[in-house]
Amino acid sequence: MSVAAGANLAGGVLPAAAAVALVVFAVRLAREPRRLGNAVWLGLALLLTALWLLRQALHLEWLTPALLALLAVAGVLVALVLPAALLVNGLRMWRREGRGGGNLLSLGLGAGLLVLEALFFVPLGRWGSAVVTIAAVLACYFGFLFLSLLVYSVAYGRIRRRGGLDAVIVLGCGLDGDRVSPLLAARLDRALRLYSQETTPPLLVVSGGRGPGETVAEAEAMHAYLRERGVPEDRILREDRARSTEENLRFSAGLLPGDARRVVAVTSDYHVFRTAVECRRLGLPFPATGSPTARYFLPSAFLREFAALILHYRRTTIGACVLIVAAGFALTVAG
């Protein structure tokens, strides 16, 4: 087969593969929106489409210089601006939110990317260079998964939900002393908007136990917040034992009356998709919706959500990593 024929074949395969990935995504989305695999298929469809468009654009001589310049700028942004932005965000999180592991994810990732990039300029020998290359491939793999999840999470959060709600479950997320934090207040305000939109006001289930350093259970503070805003006592249910998203959902579902069929879980926007995945895992037919979050908080928050979802699918993740590492070492030996 000639080079030209091979190029033409590749040009035909890319759009066909992108179309297949898009159809698979659409079918899976229609069947069950709360699946992590949906994000992967959407990401694959977008990646294959981008590669096909890039290939087509490179055939236009008048566009090639501008396209190459655009790719160079994108490379600089990924290699330098992204790690620097992550470092800045990590330091900001450190100052505002403390030194908790979740708050330092962006700082650690930014530093890790800079170290990995620097190692490409260090003479490490054949096997050392192979290890660095494998680490870079793993970084690209997880970067693809993260971007796919980010895009799908945003899309999932914008899916319109039907009205006629019977109950709204509000997930706790920590207090300021004995009062709700700004993050939790945003969740409660979102629940109040849903509550006010219904002709028959739904039940509001506030869920959260008493965490370290808190003087009352989160459910108690959430209950007080809703009562101060005019929600009648008989429309609020308190679940005051939960210490995790899973327990929030499971314990709250146990409080619902048998005729509560249309239920939605309210959380922060960055946490919506993982909440939906958790509902599916628990066999609960609940969608999730989100409230706005401060922008500086989002990078670390999305990284934390990504890590939690990867742990949900750790067998698949470990298998993919083993395959990448094994292929890398096999190519090094063969070379």
pLDDT by residue (tens digit) across 22-50? 999 999 999 999 999 999 999 999 999 98
Name every residue whose Cβ is closer than 8 Å to that of residue 241 and which is 6 or more positions away in sequence: 209, 247, 251
Q: How far apart are CA 327 and CA 146, in angstroms?
A: 22
Q: What is the pLDDT of residue 104?
A: 80
What is the phi/psi pair of residue 244, to 5°? -150, 165
Which residues in the chain come in under a pLDDT of 70? 1-11, 99, 101
CB atoms within 10 A of CB 11: 13
Q: What is the pLDDT of residue 10?
A: 55
Q: What is the pLDDT of residue 2?
A: 47
End-to-end CA distance of the chain: 25
Q: What is the pLDDT of residue 6?
A: 47
**Rg (alpha carbons) of the chain, rounded to whole number:** 24
Task: Please count the CA atoms within 13 angstroms of the CA of 284 that sit on its side-chain side.
Answer: 25
Residues listed for the chain: 335
Q: What is the pLDDT of residue 11?
A: 59
Task: Please count the CA atoms within 13 angstroms of the CA of 110 that sit on its side-chain side.
Answer: 20
